[in-house]
Structure 1
C-alpha cells in the first residue's frame, strides 16, 4: 500500500530524498564525533578527576605533612563539603550525569555519584566511595554539557543550509517542467502559447524545443483548417445565393417546389454556420464577469416565443465568474436546441454552485427517449451523430462545439440518462473570481 504522506511530484520527491540523505549524514557525523572525539575526552577528564580524588584521600590519611595537604587544596581549588554544607551551596541543583558516575565508580573502586553545576567555571561534584558523607568539589574550565552545543548548532546550520541549497537547486531544475506543464494544458484547451525559453538541463532543453516545434505545427494546422473551412464556406454560399435568387423567379404554381428548395438552402446554411463555429474557437473574446443565471434567463426568454416549447427553471444562487459570455451563451443555446429537437417539448434547467469543489454548474434535461450508454462517450467527437437513438440530423458538430468551449473554460460537460427518463446534459466550470 502506497503511503499517502509521500509527495507525488518530482520536486517534492527530490527534496525529500535530499533531506533524508542529509539527515542520515548528520546523524552519522554526530555519532562519529560523539564516540571518537567527545567520549574519549570525557573518559580522559574522568581519569584525571579520579586521580585527584584518590590523592585527596591519601593526603587525608597521611598527616605527616599537613602543609603539603593544604597547598594541594589551594593549588587545585578542590574542597571537601559535608552533606549539609553541600545542600546549602546547591548540590541539588547540579545536573546528574549517569555516564560519568559509572566511569567514576570504576576508577574509584566503589559506587560514586557525579554532578555538574553550570557556570564559569563549571563545578564538578563527586560523592566518593571512600567517604560517602562528604562531597568533593572540583572547579573546571570549558567543560560540561554546553561543550556539545557548538557541535549541535554547527550540524544544524549545515543541515539547514544544505536542505535550502538542495531546495533551490531542485526548484530551478523543476521550473522548466512546470512551464512545460502549463503550456501543454493551454495547448490542450486550444490556446497556443508563445514559444518557451529553453533552459535547464540538456534533456529539458531538448524536450522544450520539441514542444515548441509541436505547438508551432499544431497552430499551423489550426490556421490552415480555419482558412480552408472559411474558403469552402464562402465558395458554397455564393452558389446557394444564386440558387435562392433563381428559386424566387419560379412561377406561383410551383410554390411547393420553391418552399422545398428554400428549406434545403437554409439547412445548408445552418450546416455551414456549424462548420464555421467549430473552427472558430472564440479565443479572441475577452473574459468578463458573467452571471450564469442571467444568461440562462436570457436564453429562456428568447425561447418563450415558441408556443409548443416549455422550460421549467430551478435556479440556485450562483456567484459571478470570469467567462467568455458569447461563447457560453452559444453552449446554452445549443444544449436547449438539442433538448427540444431530439428530446421533448418540455425541458427543465437547473443551476447551482458546488462550494466544496468550487464549481459552477447548470444542467438541461429533456423527457425524451435518451441515448444508449454505449454511444455517450463518442458523441462529443466531431461529425459524430446519435441518430440511432434520437433520429438526429445535421453535421454532428453541435456537441463538439460545446465541448471545445467548455474546455476553454477548464470545465467539463457530461451526458447521462435520467433514471426517470430523458437525457441530462450537465456543464461544470471552475469558479474564478472576477
Structure 2
C-alpha cells in the first residue's frame, strides 16, 4: 500500500522535522554506543578478566581442603549452568541491555584463557534461576579450577554491563525530540496564519466583496505576498469602477438616440397610417433596451447593495403573486426558513430571471419550492419543459450562452443565468440544474444562512439613465 504524502504545508513540515529529529537521535545513539559505551565496556571487561584470572590462580594453588571450603563459600557447583535462550522479541530497553551484555561477555572471553569459560544466566518469566540468591535476576558464571577439578561460580556484575545509564539517556532524547516537534508545530502555525488570512481574503474577493487590507509587517516573503495581494485588490476595484462608469456611459449614450428614434417614428408615421411597421419598430427598440438593461444588471449583480435581514419566503411569495397578476401561475411550496441576511434587490432579480426562464421555456408545471438544507436556504424553480442535457447545464451559466430552444425567443442576450450565477456566488451560494422527476428541469439555488454579511463596496453606484 502506497503511503500518501501530506497535503498541507503544516503537516509536511512537521513530518520533515520529526524525521530529521529521529535521524539525528539515531545517529547520536549510534555514536554513544560505539564510541562511548563500547570503550567503557572493553575497559570493564579487562579489569574483570584480571580479577577472574587472579581468583583462578588462587583457587588452583590452595590445598584441596581449603579450596573446597573456599568454593563452598562462593556457592560453586560442578554442573554447568543451562543456556538461556535468546529473546526473539526484545523491547527497546532490553535491546540496549542485551547489546551491552553481549559485548561484555564477548570481550571478557577474549581476555581470558581458553579453558576459563563464560556463560550468562538470566531469569525466565520473572523468576530467578539461582537456587541460593532469590534476589538475583542475572548471573555471570565462570568456569575456574579448584583442587585440579573444574567448577562453576557466579560472580557479581558491574554497572557498565547492566546499562543503568542508557535508559535515562533514551528518555531524555525522546523528550527532546518531542519538544523540538512541538516547537516546530507552534512555529509553523504562526507562519501559516498569514496564509490562512490570505486565503479568506481571496475567497471574499472571488465572492465580489471588499476585504480589509492584509497586514504587511510579517516575515519578508509573507509580507511581499500580502503587499502584492493588496495591490491586486485595489487594481480590481479600480477596474470595476471603470467598468461601471463605462457601462453607464454606454447605456446613457445609446438610450438617448433610442428615445429620439421612438419620437421620430411616432412623428413620421401618424397613428393609423402603418400600425404594423410602428409595432415592429417599437418591438425592436424594446429588444435593444432589454439587452442594455441585461448588460447593466450583469455588470452590477448587487455588489453595491448592503445585505440586510430578510424573509426569503415572503420575497418569493410576493413574486409569485406578481406573476399571477400577469396571468402566469406558479405553485408555491413554502418551507420553513429562518430570517437571514441577503441582498433583497439582487435576490429578487435572481428569482425573476429563473421564473422568466421557466415561463419562456417550460410553460407548464411551474413551481417554486423553498426548504432548509443544513446551514443553507434552498429555493427551487421548476418547470415541465423539454429539459436539457446534463453536459449543457454548466455551459448555460456562462455569459452569452443560450439553450438550443432559445432561438425561438428573441429579446435576450444570454446573460440571464449568468446574472443568477453571479448573484448566488456573491452571497457565497451556488446555482445548479438537475432533471425534474417526471420530466422537466429544476434550477436549485443555495444561499448560506450563517455567512457574515458584507457591506456595500466603497465605489459609488453608477447612475442609470
Q: Distance in 1 between the 2:387 and 2:450 partners?
A: 33
The one of 211, 219, 237 equivalent to 1:219 is 237
Distance 1:27 1:343, change over 3 A: same
Asked if 1:415 corresponds to 2:433, the answer is: yes
CA contact (8 A) 2:361 2:406 kept: no
Distance 1:102 1:152, change over 3 A: closer
Bigger mean CA offset, 235-244 vs 277-286: 235-244
CA contact (8 A) 1:198 1:205 kept: yes
Q: CA deviation at 1:291?
A: 5.6
* Structure 2 spans left out of the alignment, 5+ residues: 64-72, 78-93, 110-115, 127-135, 145-149, 453-465
Please report the TM-score for the alignment, with normalisation by the length of structure 1.
0.72
CA contact (8 A) 1:323 1:409 kept: yes
Report matched runs for 1:229-240 at 5 Å: 229-235=247-253
Q: Distance in 1 between the 2:37 and 2:387 partners?
A: 81
Distance 1:389 1:263, change over 3 A: closer
Find the residue that maps to 1:365 and give its secondary structure.
strand
Q: CA deviation at 1:362?
A: 3.1
The count of aligned residue pairs is 403
1:245-287 Cα shifts (integer Å, max 9, x gaps): 8999998758968877777776665544433332224234444
Distance 1:390 1:123, change over 3 A: same
Distance 1:260 1:102, change over 3 A: closer
Equivalent residue, structure 1, for 2:120: 112
Q: Distance in 2 between the 1:31 and 1:278 partners?
A: 70
Q: Distance in 2 between the 1:200 and 1:319 partners?
A: 41
Q: Distance in 1 between the 2:381 and 2:283 partners?
A: 28
Q: CA deviation at 1:238?
A: 5.7
Please report the TM-score for the alignment, with normalisation by the length of structure 2.
0.68
Asked if 1:303 corresponds to 2:344, the answer is: no
Asked if 1:277 corresponds to 2:278, the answer is: no
Cα RMSD of the aligned pairs, angstroms, is: 4.6
Equivalent residue, structure 2, for 1:9: 8
* Structure 1 spans left out of the alignment, 5+ residues: 65-78, 84-94, 117-121
Find the residue that maps to 2:181 and give its secondary structure.
helix
Find the residue that maps to 2:325 and give its secondary structure.
coil
Q: Which has the higher contact order (CA 8 A, sep 6+)?
A: 2
Bigger mean CA offset, 152-161 vs 253-262: 253-262
Q: CA deviation at 1:322?
A: 4.7
Find the residue that maps to 1:283 and give its secondary structure.
coil
Q: CA deviation at 1:339?
A: 0.7
Equivalent residue, structure 1, for 2:18: 19
The one of 348, 353, 356 equivalent to 2:367 is 348
Bigger mean CA offset, 332-341 vs 51-60: 51-60
